[in-house]
Amino acid sequence: MLNQVLKTVFNRDLTKLRTEIAAYKHEPNLWKVEKDIANSAGNLCLHLVGNLNTYIGAILGNSGYIRNRDLEFSLKDIPQEELIRKIDATIKVVDGVLDTITPEQLQQEYPQLVLAEKTSTEFFLVHLATHLTYHLGQVNYHRRLLDK
């Protein structure tokens, strides 16, 4: 079933995000930007947590989460351990919601217009998984380039 595949992918990549954030040897480097690297790993982490808590937690799971997207990119110096706690909480939210989604719900239109066109819930969940993976790669490069 697709939601089990998605659950596996989200768990894998959120766990890897947790590993990447924890791997920073110098905590201030989480917030470092340089030259053409516009987003810090800390801000990318906040963005991913906000994104998944909004589109999976709040919209599909009715969690009540309220997103402030601007803060995802403007907040700085959140402690490494707090970022890790946010990732762990997001894993629980994503798991919980994906456990409740039925095959029929996956085929239905996603409840909110986010992309240029309406999509099915299954399409949008795949989009969210690839979005996570894209930014996870950025965090990995950020760490290897700027955490020296």
- Determine how many CB atoms are found less than 10 A away from the CB of residue 96: 14
- The whole-number pLDDT of residue 82 equals 98
37 vs 61, more confident: 61
Q: How far apart are CA 47 and CA 25, in angstroms?
A: 22
Cβ(41)–Cβ(21) below 8 Å:
yes
The stretch 27-46 carries a mean pLDDT of 96
Task: For the chain, give the percent of residues with pLDDT over 70.
Answer: 100
- The whole-number pLDDT of residue 47 equals 98
pLDDT band at 70 (very low <50, low <70, confident <90, very high): very high
pLDDT band at 78 (very low <50, low <70, confident <90, very high): very high
Cβ(146)–Cβ(42) below 8 Å:
no
- The whole-number pLDDT of residue 69 equals 97
Q: How far apart are CA 116 and CA 108, in angstroms?
A: 17
Residue 148 has pLDDT above 90, yes or no: no
All structural domains of the chain, each given as residue ranges with its CATH number in brackets, are 2-146 (1.20.120.450)
- The whole-number pLDDT of residue 122 equals 97
pLDDT digits (tens, 9 = 90+) for 93-141: 999 999 999 999 999 999 999 999 999 999 999 999 999 999 999 999 9
Q: How far apart are CA 13 and CA 8, in angstroms?
A: 9
Q: Which residue has the tokens 């240029």?
A: 116
Residue 1 has pLDDT above 90, yes or no: no
The stretch 59-86 carries a mean pLDDT of 97
